[in-house]
Amino acid sequence: MKTWNITTPLTDSITILPTAGDTVYISGIIYTARDTAHKRLIEIMNQKKTLPFELKGQVIFFVGPTPPPPGYEIGSAGPTTSGRMDIFSPKLLDGGLKAMIGKGPRSMQVVESIVKNNALYLIAVGGIGALISKSIKKSTVIAFPELGTEAVRELEVDKLPTIVGIDVKGNDLYKRGPESYLSKIIK
């Protein structure tokens, strides 16, 4: 397993490097969106209107951060379950999205779209939202403020820790990890 430091926006020359299980630290600008925001982004795309941010080369973090405590830019920023975004992810990937950050396995449709678009699915470990928030240097709501914590935010991050869950070849840590473990204990 390798460790990568990458900066947004992402390109194919960056996304082809990490493989499933590698550690990736992300720096630069990323965006947040959860279920309702994803639905709205797809509606905007279907209406051929302008999205609140350029999708090409971008990263979406599936998170609804808590309000910031005094002196902090953002509250706890733990990932939400990615499967809830599976119906929306292929269209966003086709639109230029290069990486998604969340937790949990993804559908076969999403895996196929990741491969087709040379994208990555990155895992942020659940339960360490307070630690993750320390990598977030700036947070600005840029769309759907009425959604509160689930509004779309632009985040400036510095070395946000993630693990490659699915790489550009479709290698899936959620499948490969258990298989590797079982092969070592069952002989």
Prediction pTM value: 0.93
**pLDDT at position 72:** 84
CB-based contacts of 64, cutoff 8 Å, min separation 6: 32, 34, 80, 149, 150
Strands 3-7 and 99-102: what pairing? unpaired
- pLDDT tens by residue, 73-107: 899 999 999 999 999 999 999 999 999 999 999 99
CB-based contacts of 100, cutoff 8 Å, min separation 6: 59, 60, 61, 62, 82, 85, 89, 119, 120, 121, 122
**pLDDT at position 125:** 86
Pull the structure tokens for residue 42: 């797809």
Pull the structure tokens for residue 66: 């808590």
In angstroms, the CA 125 to CA 176 distance is 17
Residue pair 16/158 in contact (Cβ under 8 Å)? The answer is: no
Domains observed in the chain: 3-185 (3.20.130.10)
Strands 152-166 and 120-123: what pairing? antiparallel
Average pLDDT, the chain: 93
Rounded to a whole number of angstroms, the distance between the first and last alpha carbons of the chain is 24
DSSP 8-state code for residue 176 = H
- pLDDT tens by residue, 117-147: 999 999 998 777 888 899 999 999 999 999 9
Q: Which residue type does 138 have?
A: K
- pLDDT tens by residue, 27-82: 999 999 999 999 999 999 999 999 999 999 999 999 989 888 888 889 999 999 99
**Catalytically active residues, by annotation:** 38
Closest among 146, 127, 144, 152 to 64, alpha carbons compared: 152
**pLDDT at position 176:** 73
